[in-house]
Chain A
Amino acid sequence: MDLMDKLSILTDSAKYDVACTSSGSNRSGVKGAIGSTCLPGVCHSFAADGRCISLLKVLMTNICVYDCQYCVNRRSNDVPRAAFTPEELALLTMEFYQRNYIEGLFLSSGVMQSPDASMERMCRVIELLRTSYRFNGYIHAKAIPGSSPELVRKLGLLCDRISVNIELPSEQSLRALAPDKPKENILRPMTEIRDALTQNKQELAVYRHAPAFAPAGQSTQMIIGATPDTDWQILRLSESLYKKYSLKRVFYSAYIPVGNHALLPHDQPPPLLREHRLYQADWLLRFYGFKASELLDDKRPSLDPLLDPKCNWALGHLDIFPVEVNLADKEMLLRVPGIGPMSAMRILKARRAGALSFDDLKKIGVVMKRAMYFITCKGKMYPGVRLTHSFIYENLTADARRNPKGLPFAPESEQLSLFPAPAVPQLSAADKGGEAVWQKSLM
């Protein structure tokens, strides 16, 4: 089999892995070595699905002894199989990197023979890159559930980021669909990586030149919409992963029907909007100081498709609004829809030069379309705004109801109300908020 065919097969079987970021590591070039990394990561291309291509994302092999039902590479699936030799993959990575096609390598693997055997092959590729080619760029590797602690440690010392896929949001789902992967096999390497990261931090504090263990930290991913797990369960899981395992990122991947198991959904489009809402909620957990329990609970287990989670939260807590932009502290500013970490920082800065008006906020990059309902400037509300649930809800969801593309159901045409809310003059141009830019830089 020639390299072109191998590349096609092993890319095709890796494409469902979502994490293609090259962020979290900041390493400038080293004389005589090739490559560098930068903190926010660099995207080098964008595929036809609009997802960023930052790393050469391939599997070492798609031969797999496991039979996970949601996975395209399961043993029982009839697909062409291939395996890279460590030498050809290392060379391919270098040739792509030198042409500035990629930021580095994202390496995962099917389980050939045993988890340890596959991990050893992966380590071999990365060792070749790091030692023979003196490659100093970004490497993200997937640790294989069930492999030995020594190999996980070895992999961590070679990579920038290491991850273990949690695959599905609950143990029941995992048991039903991935019988070969018990929960312990996934959580054990996660624990080992966490402990190695903590230990490495201490070592680095003492010896500046101690070898770095996965400087970009640990991440994971789970499939959304393949199982009946609710958003509330998912967010709670992510929250504990961030807290207990100090993960850098949890990635969500809308399920694309690749299996024919009776428990899996068929012929339904991937739940992209749900995935999007989960990422929004995830951001609230990581950068806005929200708790999962503030966003959802047992009675309300799903995120609203019409409204983003932050607006939703704000609508449920109208008693603490409006917020005076010229006085509020950073935590409070971050609670206002339309104000992200970047614009909150800019507000705090600009306030030192003088009190801010609505016009100033727009210049600073606050998304006034959303923020206008929840703030006061110098004690005054935005003209025409009423701080009532129905008024704000109708105005905020007007766009989504008018253009219901992507919604899983047709929204109600208009909420009946005795006092229909007057529309508010929209401020334009402020839409390009700091939020989106910030998110892009962190992707």
Chain B
Amino acid sequence: MAEILNVTTPPDDYAILHYDDSFEGMLTAVFESYTRKPVPISIVGQQHQKRLDVQYITIETDFRKSERVIDGINRIMGGDAYERVWTGFLSCNPDKEDIIYKYIRFGMKVGHKVHFHLTDRRVMNMDKLVKLVGRESSLQIEFVRFSRMEGGVFYGRIEPDNDVLPLMMPFFADRFNTQPFIIHDTRRQTAGLYDTQEWYIRSAEGITMPEYSDDEMKYRALWKRFYNTIAIKERINPNLRRQHMPKKFWKNIIEMSMVDGAKPTALPSDISRSKDAERFLNPSPLPQDKIGTSAESQELRLPADTGSQAAKK
């Protein structure tokens, strides 16, 4: 008993792999886990609070190794499974690496049959991870509102919990393939840009926006009028509306936040800096302190943009 209590260096069978927060880094760690005995218990990212009783092994990202893991998942578990791993990685769940790691290790053992193990804990956790990301992505696709700027660029703002920009960009690049647009993730300070040829994701710092086009306010007011007229007053049902359109989205949905015919006083680029302007333009139903504004969210990891996009293809 005393010996166990006096352990100074953690035992080898209690190792956790530590990676650099990139998708390839995580897959490299998965690769490394197969070369180590005993098998490491988990994978964690940079945000992880290190524990004292565990031995951490830092993994250097190696694209050849991550490629081999991608091949392996596609071959043994199927393309669906890889799609899920990729989508799950966009989650904001702090345990996502652990969930994905356990899912891959289980899937590599049972192969394609992993899709039948719907009641296995490892598969269920993965299902939930992917479902939440997928659901948020479709909600953001429904509710993002673009504004036409001078010069014809369309600008939309989102504030998603999960990093859904890489899922939204291909959808809009396909739909609006003739119009340049920007989707600005104000939580992560990243921006998805589409120039009518290709889309890419970069940091939103340093992007200056032109002013709203002349007719922007006119169409906002028309839309607001349409929105207010279409409801049937005998059927008013605020609960049902909130259920389908959760309040946290209202801030960026113009028909829910803009006063009829309001004129903008600040450029969008200024808006992201000035809280006052923001409050004026979009009287928010949420208290300001609850809205994750830039200060803390800037520290969040940028998505491995081009890499992920390439990997997806």
Chain B residue contacts of A7, Cβ below 8 A:
222, 225-226, 229
- Decide if A87 is an interface residue (CB 8 Å cutoff): no
Q: For A48, give its contact among B219, B236, B253 (CB under 8 Å).
A: B236
Chain B residue contacts of A352, Cβ below 8 A:
113, 116
Chain B, residues 226-240, CB within 8 Å of chain A (1/0): the string is 111111111111111
Interface contact B154-A34, CB-CB below 8 Å: no
Interface contact A269-B142, CB-CB below 8 Å: no
If A46-B241, A46-B245, A50-B239 touch, does A15 touch B232 (CB 8 Å cutoff)? yes
Chain B, residues 269-304, CB within 8 Å of chain A (1/0): the string is 000000000000000000000000000000000000
Determine the interface band of chain B, counting residues with CB < 8 A from chain A: 35 or more
Chain A residue contacts of B115, Cβ below 8 A:
349
Interface contact A349-B174, CB-CB below 8 Å: no
Chain B residue contacts of A364, Cβ below 8 A:
118-119
Min CB–CB distance B25 → chain A (angstroms): 32
Chain B residue contacts of A350, Cβ below 8 A:
116-119
If A36-B174, A98-B179 touch, does A45 touch B118 (CB 8 Å cutoff)? no
- Decide if B6 is an interface residue (CB 8 Å cutoff): no
- Decide if A31 is an interface residue (CB 8 Å cutoff): yes
* Interchain residue pairs with CB less than 8 A apart (22): A7-B226, A12-B229, A15-B230, A28-B174, A31-B177, A33-B178, A34-B177, A34-B178, A43-B142, A45-B227, A47-B231, A48-B236, A51-B230, A52-B244, A95-B215, A98-B179, A99-B146, A101-B223, A256-B232, A350-B119, A353-B119, A356-B119
Interface contact B142-A49, CB-CB below 8 Å: no
Closest to A349 in B: B116
Q: For B234, give its contact among A14, A101, A256, A356 (CB under 8 Å).
A: A256
Interface contact A99-B219, CB-CB below 8 Å: yes
Chain A residue contacts of B148, Cβ below 8 A:
98-99
Chain A, residues 153-189, CB within 8 Å of chain B (1/0): the string is 0000000000000000000000000000000000000
Interface contact A46-B232, CB-CB below 8 Å: no
- Decide if A42 is an interface residue (CB 8 Å cutoff): yes
- Decide if B108 is an interface residue (CB 8 Å cutoff): no
> Which chain B residues have a beta carbon within 8 Å of chain A's beta carbons?
113, 115-120, 124, 138, 141-148, 154, 156, 172, 174-179, 215, 219, 221-223, 225-241, 243-245, 253, 255
| 10 closest cross-chain pairs (CB), A and B | A50-B240, A47-B231, A29-B174, A49-B235, A50-B237, A350-B118, A353-B116, A48-B231, A360-B119, A11-B229
Q: For A270, give its contact among B138, B141, B234 (CB under 8 Å).
A: B234
Of residues 31 through 78 on chain A, the ones whose CB sits less than 8 Å from some CB of chain B are: 31-36, 42-53, 56-57
Min CB–CB distance A143 → chain B (angstroms): 22
Chain A, residues 351-376, CB within 8 Å of chain B (1/0): the string is 01110100010011000000000000
Q: For A45, give its contact among B143, B233, B240 (CB under 8 Å).
A: B143
Min CB–CB distance B115 → chain A (angstroms): 7
Q: For A51, give its contact among B143, B231, B238 (CB under 8 Å).
A: B231
Interface centre among A14, A101, A256 (most CB of B within 10 A): A101
If A44-B143, A349-B116 touch, does A11 touch B244 (CB 8 Å cutoff)? no
- Decide if A291 is an interface residue (CB 8 Å cutoff): no
Main SS of the interface on chain A?
Answer: loop
Min CB–CB distance A269 → chain B (angstroms): 7
Determine the interface band of chain A, counting residues with CB < 8 A from chain B: 35 or more
Q: How far does the alpha carbon of A293 sit from the alpha carbon of B225 in the complex, in Å?
A: 45
Interface contact B118-A50, CB-CB below 8 Å: no
Closest to A49 in B: B235
If A34-B177, A43-B244, A50-B243 touch, does A11 touch B230 (CB 8 Å cutoff)? yes
Interface contact A4-B221, CB-CB below 8 Å: yes
Chain A, residues 88-111, CB within 8 Å of chain B (1/0): the string is 000010011011110000000000
> Which chain A residues have a beta carbon within 8 Å of chain B's beta carbons?
3-4, 7-8, 11-12, 14-16, 28-36, 42-53, 56-57, 92, 95-96, 98-101, 137, 254, 256, 269-270, 272, 346, 349-350, 352-354, 356, 360, 363-364
Interface contact B223-A99, CB-CB below 8 Å: yes
Closest to B261 in A: A4
Q: How far does the alpha carbon of A44 sit from the alpha carbon of B244 in the complex, in Å?
A: 10
If A3-B222, A353-B116 touch, does A47 touch B230 (CB 8 Å cutoff)? yes
Interface contact B175-A35, CB-CB below 8 Å: yes
Chain A residue contacts of B228, Cβ below 8 A:
48
If A15-B232, A353-B116, A364-B118 touch, does A47 touch B176 (CB 8 Å cutoff)? no
Chain A residue contacts of B179, Cβ below 8 A:
34, 98
If A15-B231, A95-B219 touch, does A363 touch B124 (CB 8 Å cutoff)? yes
Chain A residue contacts of B255, Cβ below 8 A:
45, 101
Chain B residue contacts of A36, Cβ below 8 A:
174-175
Interface contact B145-A53, CB-CB below 8 Å: no
Q: How far does the alpha carbon of A99 sit from the alpha carbon of B227 in the complex, in Å?
A: 14
Interface contact A48-B241, CB-CB below 8 Å: yes
Interface contact B222-A47, CB-CB below 8 Å: no
Q: How far does the alpha carbon of A15 sit from the alpha carbon of B236 in the complex, in Å?
A: 13
Chain A residue contacts of B226, Cβ below 8 A:
7, 11, 56, 96
Chain A residue contacts of B243, Cβ below 8 A:
50
Interface contact A4-B175, CB-CB below 8 Å: no
Q: How far does the alpha carbon of A3 sit from the alpha carbon of B226 in the complex, in Å?
A: 11
Chain A residue contacts of B225, Cβ below 8 A:
4, 7-8, 11
If A32-B178, A98-B148 touch, does A270 touch B245 (CB 8 Å cutoff)? no
